[in-house]
Amino acid sequence: MLIRRCPLTNTSSPNVNNNRRHTPDRPEYVRAVVKKRIVEQVSELSVSRQRKWQLRQKQKGLCQKCSKPAVPEFDYCVGHMVYHRVAARRRYRPKRGRTHQYRGTQSHRLAAAAQGDLRRLLPSDVQKLLASRHAEHRELARRALNERPELRPSARWVA
């Protein structure tokens, strides 16, 4: 009887039931299929390889420029989000004749929080950071909750 090694689990199995090792109920198989599906979705697009990489990063929840965890509801990390928003403001101001900066925007608040100034965060910012899948964001939200108890969720607000 011929014995082969399974490429997924690196265990030996007899050749009698060789198809059993690729059953969909195995977690390794499921992970491989999901990863393959994501890669196929992006690779079928007719865009450059750089744009495909950016789309894969976005699907993973990472910054499209540097692979750090992306801010919830944004495509970039805090540093690149601030850089992107500042550039957008510079382009917009001369066009519309604006001179006032709105310091209360989410990008300003999160940039200040990333630099250590947690006074400007709102409860909605803390909620989004707590719901993030990245540990850095959850840790920032926990620090804000420890420093500012008024940001704690009330009975009607569940994180």
Using one digit for the tens of pLDDT, what is the confidence trace for 95-154? 777 677 777 888 888 888 888 888 888 888 888 888 888 888 888 889 999 998 888 876
| Average confidence (pLDDT) over 37-47 | 70
3-state secondary structure of 156: coil
> Which contiguous run of DSSP H or E holds residue 4?
strand 3-5
CA triple 86-89-91, angle to 5 deg: 110
**What Rg value do the Cα atoms of the chain yield, rounded?**
23
Contact between 82 and 66 under an 8 Å Cβ cutoff? The reply is no
Per residue in 11-37, pLDDT tens?
Answer: 655 544 445 555 555 555 545 555 555
| Average confidence (pLDDT) over 41-64 | 85
Confidence of residue 1 (pLDDT cuts 50, 70, 90): low
Residue, of 5 and 156, whose pLDDT is higher: 5
Q: pLDDT at position 16, please?
A: 46
User: 34-57 burial, b if ≥16 CB within 10 A, otherwise e?
Assistant: eeeeeeeebeeeeeeeeeeebbbb
Those residues with Cβ within 8 angstroms of residue 1's Cβ, 6 or more apart along the chain or in another chain? 14, 15, 16
Is this prediction's pTM over 0.75?
Answer: no
- Token pair for 126: 């803390």
Beta bridge partners, 3, equal 14
Say whether pLDDT at 92 is over 60: yes
- Burial environment of residue 11 by CB neighbours within 10 A (0 to 12, 13 to 18, 19 or more): exposed
Q: pLDDT at position 11, please?
A: 61
Average pLDDT, the chain: 76
- Burial environment of residue 134 by CB neighbours within 10 A (0 to 12, 13 to 18, 19 or more): middle
